[in-house]
Amino acid sequence: MRRIAVRSLRLPIFAVLTLNLLCGVAWADTLKFTAALEPEKAGTAKGTATLTVDTSTKKLDWSIDYSGLSAPPAMAAILSPPKDPKGNPGTVPLTLPAKPTSPATGSMQVTDDQIAGLKTGQWVVMIGSTKAPEIGGEIKPAP
């Protein structure tokens, strides 16, 4: 009798464990962000950045669509607010290919702190030449 009771519990226990595993995967979040890129000074350069973060793998995929830069872009980065009000912003470099074309794309691993920072809406993405960033914009949650 006891043996039958134990066997009859196998299926419900297996079902509960399977459901827990599936729900764990479903709890992973994909966050989407965008930024309208504009020149700091007068100019014709413009662009749009899209960023997607998979919170389970902590992978950031990014794409920067741009036009009107004075030269092919040589640098791109995400800037976080400075930790100290008088300090410099934190910099997360975005690796561009040797001969970038629009859209420039890439991916990288991010930390939990960086994911939390992106959610604040206080981070900026920039792209530009070796002389200086030409266009940038605030990273906001995508609609």
Answer whether residue 9 is part of any domain: no
Q: Give the pLDDT score at 42.
A: 80
Answer whether residue 2 is part of any domain: no
Answer whether residue 23 is part of any domain: no
Answer whether residue 21 is part of any domain: no
- Type and span of the H or E element at 58: none
pTM for this model (two decimals): 0.77
- pLDDT tens string, the chain, 143 residues long: the values are 555 544 555 555 455 445 444 444 445 699 999 999 999 888 889 999 999 999 999 999 999 999 999 889 999 999 998 888 888 888 999 999 999 999 999 999 999 999 999 999 899 999 998 888 899 999 999 98
Range of the domain at 88: 30-141
Residue 102: count of CB within 10 angstroms of its CB: 15
Answer whether residue 133 is part of any domain: yes
90-93 and 104-109: which strand pairing? unpaired
Answer whether residue 10 is part of any domain: no
Distance separating alpha carbons of residues 59 and 7, to the nearest angstrom: 43
115: domain CATH number is 2.60.40.200
- Any idea which residue has 């350069």 for tokens? 45
Q: What three-state secondary structure class fits 16? A: helix
Answer whether residue 24 is part of any domain: no
Distance separating alpha carbons of residues 65 and 36, to the nearest angstrom: 10
Indicate the residue type of 60. L
Answer whether residue 64 is part of any domain: yes
- What total of structural domains would you count in the chain? 1
Distance separating alpha carbons of residues 56 and 126, to the nearest angstrom: 26
b vs e for 13-39, b when ≥16 Cβ sit within 10 Å of the residue's Cβ? Answer: eeeeeeeeeeeeeeeeeeeebbbebeb
